[in-house]
Every structure is written in C-alpha cells, then in structure tokens.
Structure 1
C-alpha cells in the first residue's frame, strides 16, 4: 500500500484472466494513488490459453504455461485471495467468496472466462474433465499422461479447441500405443472454409485420430463414451471442449446478461456502471465477436484506463475510452508436433516456421509477466548518519519473521529485568509465556504481534492469531482469552471499518476453533498494518517449559520449516506463487491438537518462531543442560525452501539468528542455513523419550500434522548437524 496518502477506494478484480493479468502489470508500473487492489482467483496461477496445446503436447512445462498471479500481485501491491467468487450483491457492493466472508468493493471487474462442463451429459461430472477452466484440466492431464500405459483418450468437440487438444494429445502419447478419438455433433472442423477444413482433417488422420462426425454423446462412463446411436468409444480420459457456457453464478447477480454472459458497453461496463467485465465471460452486444483470448488481451489497456477513471469517482466520465475489437484475427492452430496452421481473412499458412512464429508470439507475451522490474536496494540519503547503511541492510526488511528483534538483543534486555517479586507470577527468561497462579488455577500469558507481510488482512489476522497462540500451546495450555492490538495504515473511515471487520473475522475463526474468546483490544493508525494479540491459557498440570530435556530424548517438530526464506523471496519476487501459497496455508494451521498430544509426553517444548530451529533449540539446550544432534535429512522443508536457500536467499533476520547461536557446527549446506531461518507461526518442537518418539509421531500424523523426528539431545554441549 502507499503509506504517504490514505487509501479510500477498493478495486476488486474477479478472476486471473489475460486482461486482468495485464491490468495488474500496468498497475504495478502506474498505480492509482489511494486504491487498494484485490484479486480473487481459485489458485496462485492462471494458465495462458495460447500455450495450452503446446503444454499438452509436451513442448512446454507447467511453469511455462502459467502466469504467476502471486508474483504479479506482489508487483502491483495487490492482495490476492485464493478462492472462488460465488456471487455479487450490487446493492451492498459485496462479493461472496467460497470459504470466507464477503468483501466490499467500490469498483469491480470480472474476467473469469467460461466453462466447458457438460451437465446435460450423464456421467460427465464424474468421469470427464472440462477443458475450461484451464488450470483444472492442465492438472488432470499432467497426472494422466505420466501414469498411463496404452492410453485411450476421447475429445468431445470438433472445433478449434478440440482439434488442437486432440492433436496435442496424440503427439504426447505417440510412444504409448495410444488411441485418440474426437467427437462432434456436426462436422469436425466444420466452422472453417473448405480448404482449411480439409487440411485440418488430413492432419488429424495422419496422427491416427479417429473422427466421429455427426455423433451426439449420450453418456460418459469409467471405460468410455456412449453415443446416442448406441456405439461405445473406449476411453479412460475424456475431455469436454464443446458446449462452452458462462459460469452459472453470473446470471444471479442482477446484472444484464445473455445466457449468463454479462452484457457490456463499449467502455466494458455492465448494466451496473461500477462493475466491468471482459474476456469470454463478457458479451460485446455492440459489436459481437467469437470467444477468443486475443480480444481480452486487446481490451486490457482500455480496461486499465477506464478502471482508473472510474476510481476517480466518475463512472460516466467522457474520459472513458471505447473498446473497438478488430474484425478478424490471425488464428494459429497447433498441429501436435512443432508445426502450426495459420488462417486470417481466408488466407492459409502452414509449417514448422509457423509454429516458431507462434512460439515467439507466446513467449513474448509471457515475458511480460516473467520480466518484472526487480526490487532494488533501499536508497540512502547522502547526508545519512554513520551506520545507517549497515543497519538498513542489503534487502528490504522481511515481514515473514514478524520483523523480530534478534535473539541476542532480546535476551540481553530481558536478562536485565529484576526477578519477579510476586509469589503468584513466574517467568523464565527465554520461555514462551509467563505463569500466573489464580487461586487453584494455573494460567499462562504471552503477547505477540506481526508486521503484515501480505496484503490480505483476513489471512494476516489468522496467521497472527496462530502465531500468538503458539506460546500457550507450547506450554501445554488450552487457550482461554485473547485481546487484539491493531495498527492500521492510513485509510478513509469506511475502509478502516472494512479492514477491521476482515481482521476480526479472520482472528475469530482461529480463536473459536482453539476454544478461546476475543475480549476486546486496541486500535491505532500508523505507517503499516500490524496485528498483535495478548493471549492467556489454562494448564491442568505444570506448564511445559524449556527446561527438562534429557540426553537421549528425541526432538519432534510438527511443521516443515522455510517460511522465512520463502517470504523473503516473495518480497523480492523470487519465490513461486504456489510455494508462497503453501507457506501461508501452513502458517494458518493451528497447533492445538498437536499440543494436546505432546503435553502428555513432552519433557520440554517450545513453538518455532523468529529465532528458527537453531535459536529455539539452543534455548532448550541451555536451560536443560544438554546438547543436541540434528539430522539434515530428517528436517522437513516447505516446497521451494531448499532451492531458495541453495541460491543464497535469506531472511533479513538470518544474520542476527546466526550470530546469536555460535554453538552450531557440522554439515554445511542449504539445510544448515535453514536451521537459522526465522519462522512465523511455526510448529511445536518437543523433547520426548526416545523409545516413545515413533508412536507419538504416528499420532501426530493421524491428526494431520507433518511431524518429523529431526534428531536427539546429547550429553555433549553444542548443536551438531550431521
């Protein structure tokens, strides 16, 4: 967000289609001040239509095919919500989202494409896959082609899409004795003139693809497709390309539509001027065109301009630009192998050079999203005081560690405190929470807060709540109460209310699931969003502390590590969106069940947070009077963490963590470095008897925790890495 001026308007982009991807890129280059941008998409990536046949044929990898929306959103300063939009309330200006509360918008845009699901065909939903949405199809095809021998594929739909996919599949499966069939209720390639139709049918025949013209599908089964005439086509992978239709929820929005396709004007506005639509889900009634990605791409600059104008407060402004779609476009059709056929205005070109031309066009388009300007080192004023450059560091401060102070500095400050004089309060320096006696009850209390490292207040609140509750869980307690401390960035009063509502909703889901109550808090305005909690919990027995580990005890960790390096890489746009998404999902996973399993067995326990494995384990060793041995092969890592560490990516807290633990020695490498990686809302790390460790690990796995035995405690001091 821009910190110099208040944020006053919400722009929500529903869908990660081609037009919205380009709008995000333009926004990153030239944002409209005062606007919070949100992208809603079911996943972290959006496949590029033009390269799908090449991916299916095996010419491209999945990474080649996908636009990384997480990186793009980071570049644009936007938040991304990985979920499906399910409706719009145009009166309240709210967007319903699957699995979380609705969000507000001032201006919205829809670019969700179409679906080729075929609900009228019996068995299609169970035994077939629609070609659109593309991400689901790409995942299913990737799994199928790598695991099947003697494959049998059937494609329902003999238009351009079905022809391209069937030829791509035949090419990809050419060494597996495959059978590929293409079915159409009329003539296959019938939409083309005689010459290109004949050429395409010859290409299909040369690839051995069986063509079924004028054949209607009655049903789909586990072993194939049954036609209306009773014939059976054997298939174990059935894809639907025909029967494209709009997503069903669009017709329930109250917006004008035709068969679910939203009616838009020349300015790409729907019947509600605050809602825009573009791409295949839109109906250009003023100048109808076929459904093709080229129109979404061409519409993107117009959409960006008109959204910018609308966000300035005038949806009827004469500054709005019209979108005038071209009359025809060059259709480049992949022919399975690295050859293609091109057609425009009836002229035809064909050959390997056409595929190279198409590949050049597609690669050039995708480079727009790969080659985003990189975040440079912070600029330091010439007249800055001595030491500013060293304190600032070589990279932006990483929020993924909560922007935590180093272990050594914190420890020195806490050690200077006088010992508690109250008999009902005790606190061991370095431990997770204070212990308070209230009558016959034992209460633990702690506080924690996080500087926001993602743009989504709802998910940030969930992560911050799990992070804070970790101190209660680590001491074997049951969460009791939580108070919130929220620092909001500069916002209009309306957006303050919206953001606080999202924060409270996110925190409440975690608190309720943990059995705790949110009982109030405090809010203020500052430079950026910060969310914190003071938490209390109740312990039935003695709280579990850092003191108590014995030599020979096993070390159990309940979550993989790597959140620090992944979030640091995310801030530099070096991390894959899928890896960032997985890391955020893990951070929001509560540890209540793991705590209940471990508290009956743990001799010492802590939650893994900003000081990393090395720092927190060092604290357990120091207070227990033991050493430790860590097996690098047993340390669980989040996807992407090893590769990032291998490439030298580190959190801004890494140097402090490394300097704070001098007793770590042994096998060097990426996993060694990751032992100092700061974690946010990390797992529990416990000392348990060695002969009980495997049974405890099994219990944790059965409850859904990715628990690992990463080493054991030793009599020798220090932490040895092997």
Structure 2
C-alpha cells in the first residue's frame, strides 16, 4: 500500500481487535483519511473469529484459519499496531494507559475489547472452572484436557461439563466430545469412560432460539449421551462438582463456564457511563452516552435503544457504521444511525460437520448447512488474509495543517524547544559521572574518561523497522549497544539522533517521548543514560545513537583473535532481515514478528559479561553484513578457517518460510558478495539454509570464539541467562586460509 505522507494532525486509537473493529479497520484501510494517524492497541497479535472456534476445537480448522492476523493486516493498511494490554483511559486528558507502554494521546477513541463470562458472583467458579473467553486461555486448557484424556487410563471416568445452556456452551461441548471420541477411536480405545454434561439455568437448551431448534438439539444431546441438567442454577463450585441453589450436586471433573458475560472494569473506572455488567452504554451512532469522543462496539457496548444479545453477528454488522461515523467525527461530516435487526440468521454446529440454521420461527439442518456456514466463515476470513484485494491507499478528506508544504531545512527543521524540554523532563536522570549533559545542558556534552581506561565509541542509525515507537526506541538502542558489548567494554553514555515525520506538535511530542523512553529503558538497564543528541523533522522516522563505552586495554575484545581449536558460539537466532522484509510486504505472520521482536529486545549485556569472564579470544556482533560477512572480518588475515555447521544455525520462527518464498532484505544481494569467503558453497546449491548466511540482522547476537574446553559450559551459562537458542555453530581450523567451510 502506498504511504500517505500528509502530516498527521489527529490521532485515532482503536482499543481491541474484535469483529467490529476488524471490519471498520478494513473499510478505513480502503480509504484512509488523510492527516490521521491510526493506532490499534491489542493484547493479541492474532485475534480469534468466534464463529469458527467450535470448528477449531473439533479439529475441522487449524489455529491460523480461525484467527485474524492483526499485525500483518495493520502493516499492510498503514496502521500502527501496538501489542499490549490497556489498563485504563483518562477521558479528560484524552490518554490511554497500557501495561508496557507510555501513555498514548488520542483525539478520537474506539473500544472493542469484547467480554468474558462473569465468574465473580459464584463462589469457587474462578478457582475451579475455565471460561470460554478469553479464547487463548480456553485453547490452552483444551490442549491440556486432550493430553489428559489421551495419556490417561480408560478405566478412570472423566466427567466434562459446560455451565450455560446457550449456543456457545452447546457448540463447545459437542465439539470437544467429537474430537475426543475421534482421537480415542483412532487408537482403538473405548470412549465409555467419558461423560458429558450441560448445566442449564433455564428449563430449555438454547433459550434464545425457536422451539424447533431447541427440540432438534435436545435430540442431538440425547443421541450423543450428553446429560442435560435443566433449571440448574449454579450457586457454588467446588473441586470436582457444581452445586445448585436448591442443593443439587453434579460431579464434574472438568468445568467450562459459558454464562452471561461482563465487560472489563476500566471503562467504568474511567467515568464512562456503563451498564451493570460493565459494558459501555452507546447511542445509535455507537457513541458513548457520556463521552462523545469515545465510541464502543461489539460485546463491550450496550446499545441503549436496541438491546441485543452478545453475538458475533451483531458485532460484524456494527463495523460499517462505526467506520463511517469515525470518519465523520474526524472530518466534521454527518453521522449515520445503526439499527440492528431484531431477527438474525443463526448457524449453530453440532460438533461434526453438521449444523442448524434458524431465523425467527424458521429452521433448517443438515451437512449442507455446515458447508454453507463454512463458506460464509471462510469468505469473512479471506477479507483479512487476501490483502492483495486492498487498493493502494487513497487519502480521504484533507485535514487542515498550517502550511504543510512550507517546512524549513537546516536548523529550521529541528523539533521545537518547548516540545523537547517537556519530553526530556520525563527521561531518567543521567549517571552522576557526567560532567555536562542533559542535567546541565550546554553546547556539547562533557565526560571525564577515568585514568587507565580506553574510550570505545560506536554509532548506528536506521529507518523505522516497526510501527511501535516505544519498541523501536528499545531496538535501536539495543542495536547500537551491540558494538560496545562485542568489544567487552562497559557502556558509559549515549547521544541520540532522531528524525521525525512532519506532524502536529502533539503527535510529534508523543512520538519523541515514546522513542526516547523506549531507548532510556534499555540504557537504564545498562546503568547509563542519554547525555545529549539532536532532533529534526523529515519525511520518515529514523533513530540512531552514538554510544560511549569504557574498557581496560588488556580486557578489550576484538574481531582478530581466533585461535585454532576454538569453538564459535552464537548467542541469538538469525532471520530478522528476511522476516522484516516479508513484514514490509505483509507476507510475514504476526506471531513470527512478535517472537522476532522479543529476541531483538533481548540485550547482549549479560552475554558480553559471560563471554568476557570466559576469556573469549575474539568477538563481534552479527548485524548488517550477515553471519558470513562478520565471519569474513574475523578471519581476514588470520590464516585460519572456520568449519561452520549449517544445520546447527539457530533460526527465528518463520525464517525458512520467508526465504523459501524468495523474500530477501534489500541488503542481502550486497552481502551475497561475501560468498567468495565460503570455500565450498557450490556444494550446497539449492540449499535454502545457505541464504541465512547472508541475511542482515538487526539487534543480532554476539559471535564469539572461546576455547574448546570452555565452550559447553559457556553455552550452558548463556542459556541459563535467557539466551535460549545460544549454541556452538562451528570451530576454528587451519584447513584453508581465511575461509569458511560449510559442513
């Protein structure tokens, strides 16, 4: 998608990746309003589509088929994606608080965080049952339950039940029974020890459906030996049983809770008008009754004029009017009302590939209904996976910004003094050994180099890699520190070089604050701080750091120091180049990027200390030139060779898939020129793993040579310190001069 370079003047934040938000974001991606920065905050990179959840439990779908990849979609749509949990909002100051990020400022806010079953009113329910939502928690429980059944003794009876008689409870239980029976029968084992129950408060199952549907499901439950406990209102849950208001008891070893849901507590705590169940009360425009700059939809919203059940079909149909009204709020246009239908098409499955369709008093059933449901669900999901159908971004209504084409160059392009001052006041203070720095601003920073120490300096800068400024600040700082750690030096101080895209003062201030707070988090963990820097405005975000370090001359590590017999240790996995090249093309799965970011956020600080203490003979950090490029630098002029075990190279999830798709970093062809350093690369023609050798890394690991006697111990220490994929990847030989030999 083409990038909109219109300076951002307004910030629209979506909290939660529910069905309504997914549709609204899709529609806004089709015609994104110019001058609006859009951010989605979600604790899930992949959000489940509830209509397909029973099919996943039954084994008809895999995980990816029923999840919308929010990270991948947002990258394609030009939307900033923040993986975090929202803990609160401040409607007065228009800020959003998150668990692991600084506050976000907004001009317009939309909330679609869903709901979860209310366990709080029933003693013991929280301790002894598993709710159907959050889905991630249910799926973890389901995996454990399958293992328990398959590894258990068939003579041991297991009673499994859902509390709740609605469609969710019935579909989930039928799907579980179907999958467990299928797994046991595949091993020619009995299913007689499994017993299934539905605990229904009302006197009938599926109370919101017509009598024909209820009658059909009563027969399904009877045919499948599922015990229905009607009129059983649970008052207490204990280990292994549920107790009703009248004192009846049902023995249950496994309890799944699927009753009336409630919203999160923070909207009400923030002062939004909410119903007793914690859901935000909204008008016909999906606008908060108490705060017109806040919208809500999906299960977290209660439409006061049109109360409806909490069902996915209503959430999906809120997406289009929500998108229109958010656009209207940003551009001053007229809102449209949303009136949800009273009767809706319901498609409920029976575990196997059979389903019942109903609308009002009518119903139909059959395996063809399941195929119909499947086609509807698959078509919905393709809207978010087949991203080629999205057009190039066509900016909508132009928002006003003062003289957007009259931005100055030179020092006139600096970020304003007042903005800079406000941001710098929020940063942690620098260490006390800084003579002149941000604590005493002057024309330049002054540091006192202790006697007997060497000053080690490095500089790194690059374009924005991920649309999360706080994470990008951390990654850029981690990357810049890598050279200092590779030389066995102790970091001392840092200066930042920041270029921010043109935007309103409020947006520039928030972005600068997130960048520098992210960097400061990494620097503070190394007991150093920022002592100066420079800011400017430009067409894109870039961030770099000059890092100062101190080292004893005799303890300084360099690239040249390899000794015959040394083992080569790599502390972190490879693959960031191809993964983020794929991400830029919206071809990388969101969870690949999420896992890669976790590795990139992992500092080399402890690894450097472990390697230095072990007396490493040589060390470098694996970054832009790729593994072979940096090995070439270590071997240059040594007269030695490295035998590299190709199959032992640690890789990030998704690396091979991206390489097989032919997606390479733009630096990859240049790095390929180092292949002359690989003596026998021709023997591995067609082996995709060889491409990993030339993949440029960002915030990559350390590559060190240690004595063979210490290598295994060093790897153990690294793994114990959190470098879980640290390993020996090769050894130093005298077979060929300055060459890498693949094995």
* More moved, 284-293 vs 461-470: 284-293
Asked if residue 538 in structure 1 is aligned to residue 538 in structure 2, the reply is no
> What secondary structure is seen at the aligned counterpart in 1 of 2:741?
strand
Residue of structure 2 in register with 1:521 after alignment: 533
Residue of structure 1 equivalent to 2:384: 369
2:345 to 300, 318, 330: 330
State the distance in 2 between where 1:11 and 1:616 align.
43
Provide, for residues 128-149 of structure 1, a one-character-per-residue CA deviation record: whole Å limited to 9, x for no partner: 3211122332343244325532
Residue 570 of structure 2: aligned partner: 557
Q: Which residue of 2 aligns with 1:306?
A: 325
After superposition, the C-alpha distances for 1:548-572 in whole angstroms (9 at most, x for unaligned) are: 1112111111111111111111111
- Where does residue 161 of structure 1 map in the other structure? 168
> 500, 511, 530: which one pairs with 1:499?
511
Q: 2: distance between equivalents of 1:44 and 1:220?
A: 33
Is structure 2 residue 268 aligned with structure 1 residue 247? Answer: no
Deviates more, 1:186-195 or 1:89-98: 186-195
Is residue 474–residue 519 contact of structure 2 (8 Å, CA) maintained in 1?
A: yes
**Distance in 2 (alpha carbons) for counterparts of 1:575 and 1:147:** 34
**Is 1:52 equivalent to 2:53 in the alignment?**
yes
- Cα deviations by residue, 1:183-226 (Å, 9 ceiling, x for unpaired): 12333333434332121111112222222222243554564545
> 1:651 is paired with a residue of what secondary structure?
coil
Cross-structure match for 2:226: 209
SS in 1 for 2:555: coil
| Separation in 2, partners of 1:480, 1:375 | 48
Structure 2: state its 5+ residue gaps.
185-190, 393-447
How do 1:621-700 residues align onto structure 2 when only pairs under 5 Å count? Answer: 621-622=635-636, 624-664=638-678, 665-666=680-681, 667-668=684-685, 669-700=687-718
Summarize the alignment of residues 101-120 of structure 1 with structure 2, pairs less than 5 Å apart.
101-120=102-121
Whole-Å separation in 1 of the counterparts to 2:98 and 2:264: 14
Find out whether 1:181 has 2:200 as its counterpart. no
Partner of 2:358: 343
| 1:563-592 Cα shifts (integer Å, max 9, x gaps) | 111111111111111001111121111111
Structure 1: runs of 5 or more not aligned: 378-435
| 1:535 Cα offset (Å) | 0.4
CA shift, 1:685, in A, is 0.8
Looking at structure 1, the residues matched to 4 and 210 of structure 2 have their Cα atoms a distance apart, in angstroms, of 58
Q: Secondary structure at the match of 2:5?
A: coil
Counterpart secondary structure, 1:686: strand
The answer on 1:611 being equivalent to 2:625 is yes
CA contact (8 A) 1:556 1:697 kept: yes
Q: State how far apart, in whole Å, the 2-side matches of 1:17 and 1:190 are.
A: 25
**Structure-to-structure mapping, 1:95-494, within 5 angstroms:** 95-146=96-147, 148-149=149-150, 152-175=159-182, 176=184, 177=191, 178-187=194-203, 188-220=205-237, 223=240, 225=242, 233-259=250-276, 260-270=278-288, 271-312=290-331, 314=332, 317=333, 319-373=334-388, 439-494=451-506
> Hey, what does 1:574 align to over in structure 2?
587
**TM-score normalised to the size of structure 2?**
0.86
Check the 8 A contact 2:628/2:674 in 1, yes or no.
no
CA distance 1:235–1:520, change in 2 (3 Å): farther
Cα distance change of structure 1 residues 229 and 683 upon mapping to structure 2, 3 Å threshold: farther
Structure 1 residue 526: Cα displacement: 1.3
Counterpart of 2:395 in structure 1 is: none
CA distance in 1, matches of 2:235, 2:279: 26
Secondary structure of the structure 1 residue equivalent to 2:291: coil
The 1-side partners of 2:250 and 2:573 are apart by 46
SS in structure 1 at match of 2:454: strand
Residue-pair matches, total: 660
Equivalents in 1 of 2:644, 2:255: separation in Å? 49
If the length of structure 1 is used for normalisation, what is the TM-score? 0.88
CA distance in 2 between counterparts of 1:439 and 1:550 reads 31
- Separation in structure 2 between the aligned mates of residue 535 and residue 623 of structure 1, nearest angstrom: 28
CA distance in 2, matches of 1:152, 1:708: 46
Q: Residues of 2 paired with 1:503 and 1:6: CA distance?
A: 19
Assess if the C-alpha contact under 8 Å between 1:606 and 1:616 holds in 2: yes
